[in-house]
């Protein structure tokens, strides 16, 4: 299986395929694929998904994919490389805050497994298509302010994807569990994970019109975990993503995640994963080099 590694910040390409173009291959970056024309089958991690014009696929690092059975297909492909999330990248002062991109990608990354195949865009389908066409225009014309416009368009696309993933998961969960409020509670936590005031049990319980004790008992009965433990575990999952895909220091990550300091983060991280954050990052770097 081939493995592809890119070295630019964001790579936007329009690719036309008239036949099966490649063997299954992996990426070490996030990739957004929008179908501009044609039909076919997109094989992701050995699962086949039929696609048509207007479909959207989000591939996360280490997803393996290929296309087959295609008919004169054209894609717009957006690759988010590791350097895109690097605070040391050139011209960073002209780019919006990298952490905002990560917040959108993190939500998508930790929820996309609940979406099978293309992402249903619901009422946002026309808006998404318009933004994709603007992105292609900026790429092809290289005009003044093109880079910042491109980044803002990409930012909007990520917001739309995150919103529709949330909508689709919520709809499916409610259909299967009409009386349960668990997804609403976990979605609230995920969306407010960086705001320690909004994560206080008193604030959460007030938002859902419950007493703190009642909400905690309900949450633990439904999930087997307390709300506090869920928050910590979700934060640690986000920290793993940051350690793997950004060059933020552990101290910077600790600050963003509202830990007291690096030592506090390492203590909690080690209690769950039996290794420090630094050890985890080193191991991931070795894995990446071995897969290149």
Residue 134 sits in a domain whose CATH number is: 2.60.120.280
Asked whether the predicted pLDDT for residue 149 surpasses 70, the reply is yes
User: What pLDDT is attached to residue 22?
Assistant: 63
Same domain, 197 and 141: no
Domain end call among 173, 202, 226: 173
Phi first, then psi: give them for residue 46, nearest 5 degrees.
Answer: 70, 15
Residue 113, SS3? Answer: helix
pLDDT of residue 101: 62
pLDDT tens per residue across span 30-75: 889 999 999 999 988 888 999 999 999 988 777 888 888 788 899 9
Instruction: Tell me which of 173, 203, 230 is where a domain ends.
Output: 173
Would you place residue 1 in the very low, low, confident or very high pLDDT band (cuts 50, 70, 90)?
Answer: very low
Domain ranges, residue 84: 2-173
Q: How many domains, in total, are found in the chain?
A: 2
DSSP SS3 for 231: helix
Which of 133, 155, 173 terminates a domain? The answer is 173
- Burial tier of 119 (Cβ tally within 10 Å: 0-12, 13-18, 19+): buried
Please tell me whether residues 166 and 100 are part of one structural domain. yes
pLDDT value at position 75?
94
Q: For 8, which DSSP code?
A: S
Contacts of 135 (CB under 8 A, 6+ apart): 12, 76, 78, 150, 153, 154, 157
Domain shared by 146 and 204, yes or no:
no
165 and 67 fall within a common domain = yes
Could you read off the pLDDT of 205-243 as tens digits, one per residue?
Answer: 999 999 999 999 999 999 999 999 999 999 999 999 888
Q: Classify 103 in phi/psi space as left (phi over 0), alpha (psi -120 to 50) or beta.
A: alpha
- Any idea what the CATH number is for the domain that residue 282 is in? 1.10.10.60
């Amino acid at each position: 299986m081939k493995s592809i590694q890119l070295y630019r910040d964001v790579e936007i390409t329009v690719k036309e395929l008239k036949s099966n173009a490649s063997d299954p291959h992996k990426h070490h970056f996030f990739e957004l694929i929008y179908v501009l024309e044609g039909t076919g089958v997109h094989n992701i991690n050995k699962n086949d998904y039929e696609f048509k014009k207007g479909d959207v696929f989000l591939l996360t690092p280490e997803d393996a994919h290929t296309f087959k059975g295609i008919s004169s297909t054209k894609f717009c492909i957006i690759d988010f490389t590791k350097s895109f999330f690097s605070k040391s990248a050139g011209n960073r002062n002209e780019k919006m805050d990298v952490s905002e991109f990560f917040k959108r990608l993190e939500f998508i990354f930790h929820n996309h497994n609940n979406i099978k195949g293309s992402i249903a865009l619901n009422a946002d389908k026309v808006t998404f298509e318009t933004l994709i066409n603007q992105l292609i225009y900026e790429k092809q014309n290289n005009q003044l302010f093109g880079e910042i416009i491109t980044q803002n368009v990409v930012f909007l696309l990520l917001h739309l994807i995150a919103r529709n993933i949330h909508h689709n998961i919520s709809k499916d969960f409610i259909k299967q569990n009409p009386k349960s409020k668990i997804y609403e509670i976990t979605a609230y936590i995920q969306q407010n994970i960086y705001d320690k005031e909004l994560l206080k049990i008193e604030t959460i319980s007030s938002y859902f019109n419950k007493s703190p004790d009642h909400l905690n008992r309900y949450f633990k009965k439904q999930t087997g975990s307390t709300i506090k433990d869920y928050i910590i575990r979700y934060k640690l999952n986000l920290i793993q993503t940051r350690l793997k895909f950004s060059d933020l220091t552990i101290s910077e990550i600790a600050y963003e995640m509202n830990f007291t300091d690096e030592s506090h983060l390492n203590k909690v991280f080690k209690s769950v994963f039996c290794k420090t954050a630094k050890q985890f990052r080193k191991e991931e770097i070795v894995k990446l080099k071995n897969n290149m």
